[in-house]
Structure 1
Amino acid sequence: MTNNKSRPGLAIAALSLGTALNPLNSSMIAVALVVLREHFSLDVATVTWVITSFYLASAAGQPLMGRLADRFGPRRLFIFGMALVALTCAIAPFLPNFALVCVARALMAVGTATAYPSAVVMVTELSRLANLPPTRPLGRIQMATTSAAAIGPVVGGLLVSLVGWQALFAINVPLALIALFAVRQTAPADSGRESGRLGQLVRDSDVPGILAFIASLMLAMMALLNVAPGYRWYLLGAAVVIAALFAGRELRFKPPFLDLRLLGGNRPLLLVYLLFVVFSGVYYFAFFGLPQLLQEAGHYDAGVVGLLMLPLAALSVVVTPVTVRKIEKHGVRPVLIAGVVVLAVASGALGILTVSLWVPVVFLLTALMGVPYGLVSTASNQGLYVSARPEERGVAAGIFQTCRYLGAITATVLIGVFYGPGVNQANWGLMVLVMLGLSALVLVLALMWRKPAV
């Protein structure tokens, strides 16, 4: 049944706003680390937990929220998530210690993690009501997330300088409430979802499987992030053991949290995941590695570096609607392949920075890197949608977002390895070679991908 108050255009806008909160809060916090250190008297290693807690909760929460959207309804889950964000962020500015601030960041991450899977699940119905192809609302959601990541440091810098770190939480309260009430009033009602007694629903929810999935993923990411120096391999070993137990349970339990047989049999979806992990690694090599090079080797002020990185995100936003139109005309695969070719060219061009860090050169190269980000991320998003079965799109979208975090964290670890001997142009050159190798792997995966037969 459809809500007779449904207004698909406003619903898509509200879903886009909710989806933007995760990347916005992921990037805003970067400018508050120094202020948080001073406020709570922390060392450099401890303050990074405000970022790590958000990453871990987001990565683990996305697939779980996606499964809940598939089972109980995307509209209902989105409203719950935005309510959790608003409540958490209303309390967070008054928390007395840093540990509670990290808990608030984790809860905020869980709340914002409901938005993207819910939006993907609702796309089919909203596009039908708006008489649009699904590519359009998916493209608008992609633009919102990209824009939010781009403006996050700018907005965060203004809020911290004018108000303080507390404003980074407070700003989410009105944004989450606007998204909540707009979706409640304009989105179609959930239909065909599970209902019944709470006890039965819990028994059918594969709680041990869910807990094992979250534990294995969080332990693996903690190992990658090296949050407990000296225990990395123990954490990784525990993650592998729990993942094996999880797989064994999921193959026996009915209905499983993750249907591994269906997932393993969906080759196009698996290729999208692998492609997006590797592509995200290439992108975050530039996104995280280049600012350090410009500050350390180029001796540019942090504010100048922020401006020099802005074209990367700005061009990706501009490219997204163009990409959507090309996908509607030519299909996902040709656009995806073209985007990966541009990715390889842009990655190779970054090698110019081994000989020159002149501002106009940096500006042009960051703008060039924004083009494949808009192309590949948008095409991957569309590839996910057509590869996943309709009843599995929520959890599929959640795993897709986790792939982004895996790529970002892997890039961060490798950047630490390459920059370990020193942040200089020679080591940047080695990173460019790795980016080229990864771009070649993305191209192979893009060539292997085919849209599933209807």
Structure 2
Amino acid sequence: MSNTSRPGLAIAALSIGTALNPLNSSMIAVALVVLREDFSLDVATVTWVITAFYLASAAGQPLMGRLADRFGPRRLFTFGMALVAVTCAVAPFLDNFALVCVARALMAVGTATAYPSAVVMVTELSRLAKVPSTRPLGRIQMANTSAAAVGPVVGGLLVSLFDWQALFVINVPLALLALLIVQRTAPADVGRETGSLGTLIRDSDIPGILAFVVSLMLAMMALLNVLPGYRWYLLGAALVVGALFAWRELRFKPPFLDLRLLGRNRPLLLVYLVFVVFSGVYYFAFFGLPQLLQEAGNYDAGLVGLLMLPLASMSVLVTPLTVRLIERFGVRSVLITGVLVLAGASAALGLLTLSLWPPLVLVLTAVMGVPYGAVSTASNQGLYVSARPEERGVAAGIFQTCRYLGAITATVLIGVFYGPGVNQANWGLMVLVMLGLSALVIVLSVLWRKPAEA
């Protein structure tokens, strides 16, 4: 039986579960060389261990959110953590790289249940804890940010002490711990759908779900260029399947994704646009700067890791302050302030066209971490107040997909700008793009208004 008098523990467990997705998306980077050697792979093939996780996460987040809305967040969280634990217990014994990629995809699906489930549970947990919703949402955001920051460090330590298999094994106790605590401390699912399996399947809009997943995966594969020479074919197919998805959703009741409602919910759409564009700016720095420091500055990987650490560390430190400011001044004021700081931080990164002096890099990465913590937290709260309570799961899932879209778009553009060479001049061009995107995100933030009923 659930002990609903301990919401603090439940939020902590949800934060652990939420951290598993960014943790596993980042710490695998340090294992690519070892995987290449163990399975005798080329560089292009080994990257599928990352691509499989990204594709499954991006497509799975909205689906998992919809399931949390329909059948209950605690039930879905339990399923997700169990899937992670079982998959990660089996994966170390796999001797086929394709199966390892499948295991990574299943991990992504399992970890994708955590964030939407947490957002759905926030209302009841914050009521039980007698705190504003900003507090648990802030803790969940900190888990996301800190896990992504420590991922490469944790991954490097595990691979050096053990082997790539340890990257799977570490998830087993974490997933089981989160599962057991949520089962004991989170409120029971109430008011969710029940009935015969046949009825539930018939009302689940399976063709709509499949069309959504396929169109998104085709678009992501085009952006990632996973099949060189077929990018435009994949993009065209994504548009066709996406159009069929929209046609289906406008006619089916109840739809997997209510496009009419989404079209009428301007605040929610603006939150998504803000987060996509903002994520693009952030990942320009997160992915582009290390390459500049290593190739143009000739710094070794260890030093680059230390120089980049303030970016994520500062964002974690800023999050609690951001929560307090939102409670005092509101989401919109903090969001606008955060994106203005983002523009200033992006402009300051232009100084690296003049010098790659390590203390300067250290200061600039710390400054860039401030808007990341502020805008991520404000966007998270903006999502919460913009979405209807009964649709917060799927809304949260789409929100996480926006992060992936921004990150992958930034990665593609970095490849374009660094194509002629990784140097300070091309970094300067990227900073100009970051400034343009920052201006766009300022406009979108100014347009956002908290819904009157929220």
Report if TM-score (shorter chain) is over 0.5: yes
Match for residue 419 of structure 2? 420
Deviations 1:402-454 (CA, angstroms, capped at 9, x unpaired): 00000000000000000000000000000000000000000000000000001
Matched, 1:258 2:257: yes
What letter is aligned with 1:373? Answer: Y
What letter is aligned with 2:228? Answer: P
In structure 1, distance between residues paired with 2:199 and 2:451: 35
Matched, 1:51 2:74: no
In structure 1, distance between residues paired with 2:345 and 2:25: 25
Matches within 5 A, 1:275-314: 275-314=274-313
Q: TM-score, normalization: structure 2? A: 0.99
Matched, 1:394 2:393: yes
Match for residue 319 of structure 1? 318
Partners of 1:74 and 1:119 within 8 A in 2: yes
In structure 2, distance between residues paired with 1:120 and 1:284: 24
Matched, 1:181 2:176: no
Partners of 1:6 and 1:185 within 8 A in 2: no
In structure 1, distance between residues paired with 2:209 and 2:311: 37
1:252 is paired with a residue of what secondary structure?
A: coil
Matched, 1:191 2:187: no
Match for residue 109 of structure 1? 108
Offset, 1:11: 0.1
2:347 is paired with a residue of what secondary structure?
A: helix
2:250 is paired with a residue of what secondary structure?
A: helix
Q: TM-score, normalization: structure 1? A: 0.99
Deviations 1:253-290 (CA, angstroms, capped at 9, x unpaired): 01000000000000000000001000000000000000
What letter is aligned with 1:130? Answer: A
Deviations 1:7-45 (CA, angstroms, capped at 9, x unpaired): 100000000000000000011001111111111111111
Offset, 1:107: 0.2
Matches within 5 A, 1:212-291: 212-291=211-290
Matched, 1:334 2:333: yes
In structure 2, distance between residues paired with 1:5 and 1:121: 15
Partners of 2:222 and 2:232 within 8 A in 1: yes
Offset, 1:6: 4.0
Matched, 1:91 2:90: yes
Unaligned runs of 5+ in 2: none
In structure 2, distance between residues paired with 1:410 and 1:5: 42
Matched, 1:364 2:372: no
In structure 1, distance between residues paired with 2:27 and 2:116: 22
2:342 is paired with a residue of what secondary structure?
A: helix
Partners of 1:293 and 1:424 within 8 A in 2: yes
Match for residue 11 of structure 1? 10
Which of structure 1's runs of 4+ aligned residues deviate more than 3 A? 2-6
In structure 2, distance between residues paired with 1:164 and 1:384: 39
In structure 2, distance between residues paired with 1:176 and 1:439: 37
Offset, 1:161: 0.3
In structure 1, distance between residues paired with 2:205 and 2:33: 42
In structure 2, distance between residues paired with 1:440 and 1:111: 36
What letter is aligned with 2:452? Answer: A
Match for residue 351 of structure 2? 352
1:417 is paired with a residue of what secondary structure?
A: helix
Deviations 1:337-375 (CA, angstroms, capped at 9, x unpaired): 000000000000000100100110000000000000001
Offset, 1:97: 1.1
What letter is aligned with 1:417? Answer: V
- Number of residue pairs aligned between Structure 1 and Structure 2: 453
In structure 1, distance between residues paired with 2:5 and 2:143: 21
Match for residue 122 of structure 1? 121
In structure 1, distance between residues paired with 2:230 and 2:217: 14
In structure 1, distance between residues paired with 2:95 and 2:200: 37
What letter is aligned with 1:115? Answer: A
2:188 is paired with a residue of what secondary structure?
A: coil
What letter is aligned with 1:324? Answer: V
2:132 is paired with a residue of what secondary structure?
A: coil
Unaligned runs of 5+ in 1: none
What letter is aligned with 1:134? Answer: S
Matches within 5 A, 1:132-143: 132-143=131-142
Matched, 1:432 2:410: no
Partners of 1:78 and 1:114 within 8 A in 2: yes
1:165 is paired with a residue of what secondary structure?
A: coil
What letter is aligned with 2:92? Answer: P
In structure 1, distance between residues paired with 2:396 and 2:152: 26
2:421 is paired with a residue of what secondary structure?
A: coil
What letter is aligned with 2:71? Answer: F
In structure 1, distance between residues paired with 2:298 and 2:32: 21
In structure 2, distance between residues paired with 1:248 and 1:5: 42
In structure 1, distance between residues paired with 2:58 and 2:137: 21
Matched, 1:74 2:65: no
In structure 2, distance between residues paired with 1:197 and 1:84: 24
1:423 is paired with a residue of what secondary structure?
A: coil
Match for residue 375 of structure 1? 374
What letter is aligned with 1:43? Answer: D
Partners of 2:2 and 2:183 within 8 A in 1: no
Matched, 1:147 2:150: no
Partners of 2:4 and 2:128 within 8 A in 1: no
In structure 2, distance between residues paired with 1:45 and 1:346: 34
What letter is aligned with 2:277? Answer: V
Offset, 1:3: 4.1
In structure 2, distance between residues paired with 1:22 and 1:336: 25
Partners of 2:353 and 2:427 within 8 A in 1: yes
Offset, 1:76: 0.2
What letter is aligned with 1:121? Answer: V
Partners of 1:268 and 1:452 within 8 A in 2: yes
Offset, 1:157: 0.3
In structure 2, distance between residues paired with 1:426 and 1:330: 40
Offset, 1:5: 4.5
What letter is aligned with 1:91? Answer: V
In structure 1, distance between residues paired with 2:342 and 2:413: 19
Partners of 2:3 and 2:186 within 8 A in 1: no
In structure 1, distance between residues paired with 2:99 and 2:64: 23
